[in-house]
Each structure stands twice: as C-alpha cells, then as structure tokens.
C-alpha cells in the first residue's frame, strides 16, 4: 500500500514569519498536532515543521525568567520550528513511513514529491486507520516510538534524512 493512499492531503501550512498564535489556531481549527512550515504559499516547499509539543514547550511552559520577555505567541514560528524535516514520497510503501517513524521516534511525517513540494502529512493514526498493518507490527512501532531515549535528549529529527 502506498503512502498516497493513507495520507492527509494538502495540509494547511504556515510560513516562517507567521506567529505561534497562527499555528496554534490552525491546529485547533483543523484538529491536527503538526503544521508544516513552507518557504512561501505559492511554492509550498517545506522548511520546517511545528508541532503542538513545540508550541507547548516553547510558548506555554516558560520559566519565570522568560516570562518578562516579549509575548511568546506573537513571536515568529522560525523561533520554534524544527528545521530537520522527516519526509517520504507519496509513492513510497507505508512500511517505509512506519520504519522512519520508529527509527526517529516520531508520529508524523511530511509527504513531499520529487520537486520537494508538500503533498500531505502521514501520521501514525493514518497508518493505523487505513494502512492494513498487522497488530503486532503496530504494537512494536508504538513501543519503539514511545520508548524513552537512553541518551541525552535531542531533537528527534536531528539525525534523520532531511531536505534543505
């Protein structure tokens, strides 16, 4: 089964100068935990992603020292986004997406075409609901994704195959 058969197509995207508030509102309105960040609205080439966790950790969970600074929700996304992008091609097999998720401990991947234009997002939920993956494989994937890192924590996508 191909990723194009299970992915969420044409995701709503932000640009790096959009604020954290814009990304949070998109997440709320379209019920997602990830917003791709693209170079511009016309070309739609990904330059990063911002997740609900990114916003929570950088904007909501601020310490007292940072509380006196500028309003975090008004800061541009480029301050909070992850620039190491995990991706797959729409024609890749869903097994490749599952392996990337397990290897990098993430639940979502961008789907980009050969011209590096965003086509969609594939999530663990997409694979579970529409992917015809055996329960044993799913259990293994969840365990590997959720396993606490043994080494010092680092951005989960830092060592992944990236574009850009």
| Residue 22 or 69, more confident | 22
Q: Please report whether residue 76 resides in a domain.
A: yes
φ, ψ dihedrals at 135, nearest 5° = -55, -40
- pLDDT winner (highest mean) among 35-44, 53-62, 122-131: 35-44
Instruction: Indicate whether 64 belongs to any domain.
Output: yes
Percent of the chain scored above 90 by pLDDT?
A: 52
Are residues 26 and 38 in contact, defined by beta-carbon separation less than 8 angstroms?
no
Q: Classify the C-alpha dihedral 20-24-27-32 as positive or negative.
A: positive
* Confidence at residue 156, expressed as pLDDT on a 0 to 100 scale: 44
Number of domains in the chain: 1
Mean pLDDT of 18-26: 93
In a domain, 153, yes or no: no
Between residues 148 and 2, the one the model is more confident about? 2
> What residues make up the domain containing 50?
3-146
- Among 70, 66, 103, smallest CA distance to 86 is for 103
CATH of residue 78: 3.10.580.10
- Reported as a pLDDT band with limits 50, 70 and 90, residue 164 is very low
**pTM for the whole thing?**
0.80
Q: Is residue 157 part of a domain?
A: no
The pLDDT of residue 149 is 61
- Establish if 69 belongs to a structural domain: yes
Specify the length of the chain in residues.
164
Q: For residue 26, tell me if it sits in a domain.
A: yes
- 8-9 β-sheet, strand order: 8-9, 118-123, 108-112, 87-88
SS3 of residue 95 by DSSP: helix
Confidence of residue 157 (pLDDT cuts 50, 70, 90): very low
- Residue 108 three-state SS: strand
Q: Is residue 158 part of a domain?
A: no
Per-residue pLDDT reduced to its tens digit, 67-121: 555 567 788 889 889 999 999 999 999 999 999 998 998 989 999 999 999 999 9
């Amino acid at each position: 089964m191909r990723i194009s058969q299970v992915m969420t197509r044409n995701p709503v995207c932000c640009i790096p100068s959009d604020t954290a508030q814009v990304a949070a509102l998109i997440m709320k309105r379209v019920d997602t935990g990830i917003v791709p960040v693209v170079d511009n609205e016309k070309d739609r080439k990904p330059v990063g992603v911002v997740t609900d966790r990114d916003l929570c950790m950088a904007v909501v969970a601020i310490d007292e020292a940072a509380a006196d600074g500028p309003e975090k929700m008004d800061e541009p996304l480029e301050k909070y986004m992850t620039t190491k992008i995990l991706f797959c091609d729409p024609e890749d097999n869903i097994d490749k997406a599952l392996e990337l998720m397990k290897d990098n401990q993430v639940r979502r991947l961008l789907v980009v075409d050969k011209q590096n234009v965003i086509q969609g997002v594939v999530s663990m939920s997409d694979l579970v609901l529409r992917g015809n993956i055996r329960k044993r494989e799913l259990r293994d994937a969840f365990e590997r994704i959720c396993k606490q890192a043994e080494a010092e924590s680092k951005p989960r996508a830092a060592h992944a195959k990236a574009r850009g």
